[in-house]
Amino acid sequence: MTNDNYFINLAIEEAKVSLREGGLPIGAVLVKDNKVISKGHNRLIQNNSVILHAEMDAIENAGPLTHEDYRKCTLYTTLSPCPMCSGAVVLYNIPKVVIGDNSTLMGAEEFLKANDVEVVVLNDVNCKNLFEEFTRKNPEIWQKELAKVGNSTESKI
Amino acid sequence: MTNDNYFINLAIEEAKVSLREGGLPIGAVLVKDNKVISKGHNRLIQNNSVILHAEMDAIENAGPLTHEDYRKCTLYTTLSPCPMCSGAVVLYNIPKVVIGDNSTLMGAEEFLKANDVEVVVLNDVNCKNLFEEFTRKNPEIWQKELAKVGNSTESKI
C-alpha cells in the first residue's frame, strides 16, 4: 500500500464517522512529515453548519500552525474540495492536496493549481462508491445540500 | 448616510466587539433584502481558531440559506477578504461584497471578480484606522497572525 492509499483510507474512515452521525460521508486528514496531525469530516448536517466541510474541519482541528509547518503539510480528502476549502488551502499555503475522487463532484482544482498547489487525484473507487451510494440512497438530503450552492462547487479561477 | 455606510458601520461595531474580547478588530455583516440577517467577527484569538474570520463567522451565523436567498445577499466586511472567505462567497454564490478597506491588507478580490462577484471598496477611514491602530499598538499579535499565512492573503486567480 502506498502512503497515499494509506492516508486516503484514514480519510475514508472519517467519512464513515460522519455517515454514522447522520452526516455526509466526506472525510479528510492533514498530514505533516508523513504523520497525521488532524482528522476532520463534514459536519454540515450534524452541526447545522455551512462552513464545516471535511477539509475545513481537519484544518481547524490541527489548530494554528506556523507558515513553515503548513508548508510541510498534505491535505487528503475523499472528495474534490470546494472553493471555500480550496481557499483555506491557499490561505495557509498548504502545498499539496490528494483527492480520493472528483468524478462525483468536481471542486476548485484549477484554482488550487493556479496558486501552485500540487493536486493529485487518486480515482479511488472506495471514495467514489461511498459518496455515490449515499447520494443514491438519500437523494432528498443531497438535493437539499446542492440547493444551497447552485452550481458553484467548481469556481472560475 | 448611504446604505453602504450604514451597513459598514454595523460591521465596524462587530470589529469593536472582537476588540473588546481581545481579538482582531475585523467585522462583517450579511445583508439580504436590505436587512441584516447575521453578524460576525474575527474569532481566531478568542476561539484559538484558524477558520473563524469575520466573514466566515457571519456566513455561519446566517445558517443554511437556499441558493435563491444567497443570491439576494451582500456581504459587508471591514477588511478585504482572504482566499478562504472569498471562496465561501464563491461557493454560496453571494453576488456582492462591500469592503471597508483594502489599503492595510489586500485579499483575494481578483478571485472574487473572476467569479462574477461585484466588489465595492469604500476606502472607509474608520475601517482603516481601526485596523492600523490595532496592528501598530499590538505588533507582536499581528506578526503572529501573519506568521501563519506567509504572503497568501491575496491569492492568484
| Sequence ranges of the domains in chain B | 4-148
| B55 noted as active-site residue | yes
How much of chain B exceeds pLDDT 70, in percent?
96
* Mean predicted confidence (pLDDT) in A107-114: 96
ipTM given for this complex: 0.95
Looking at CA atoms only, how far is residue B20 from chain A in angstroms?
22
Looking at the domain B4-148, which fold is it? Cytidine Deaminase; domain 2 (3.40.140)
Q: Which residue has the higher pLDDT, A156 or B15?
A: B15
pLDDT at A25 over 80: yes
Q: Which residues pair with A23 in a beta bridge?
A: none
Which is catalytic among the residues A14, A55, A60, A132?
Answer: A55
Name the closest residue on chain A to residue B82, using Cα atoms. Answer: A91
Size of interface A-B (CB pairs under 8 A): 131
Looking at CA atoms only, how far is residue A1 from chain B in angstroms?
33
C-alpha separations of B93 from B35, B66, B100, B117 in Å: 18, 10, 21, 8
Q: What is the pLDDT of residues A44-85, one digit of tens each?
A: 999 999 999 999 999 999 999 999 999 999 999 999 999 999
pLDDT at B146: 87
Which residue is it, cell 472560475?
A156
Q: Measured on CA atoms in the order B7, B10, B16, B17, is the torsion positive or negative?
A: negative
Provide the whole-model pTM. 0.96
- Residue B1 — very low, low, confident or very high, per pLDDT cuts 50/70/90? confident
Sheet hosting strand A73-79, strand order edge to edge: A35-41, A27-32, A73-79, A96-101, A118-121
Burial class (CB in 10 A: 0-12, 13-18, 19+), B89: buried
Distance from the first to the final alpha carbon of chain B: 34
- Residue B99 — very low, low, confident or very high, per pLDDT cuts 50/70/90? very high
Any A CB within 8 A of B86 CB = yes
pLDDT at B27: 98
pLDDT at B40 over 90: yes
Any B CB within 8 A of A88 CB = yes
pLDDT at A146: 87
Distance CA B141, CA B16 (A): 16
Any B CB within 8 A of A83 CB = yes
Q: What is the pLDDT of residues B102-146, one digit of tens each?
A: 999 999 999 999 999 999 999 999 999 999 999 999 999 988 888
Which residue is it, cell 509547518?
A69
Name the closest residue on chain A to residue B156, using Cα atoms. Answer: A115
For residue B89, give the nearest of A141, A112, A51, A40 by alpha carbon. A51
pLDDT at B2 over 90: no
pLDDT at B80 over 80: yes
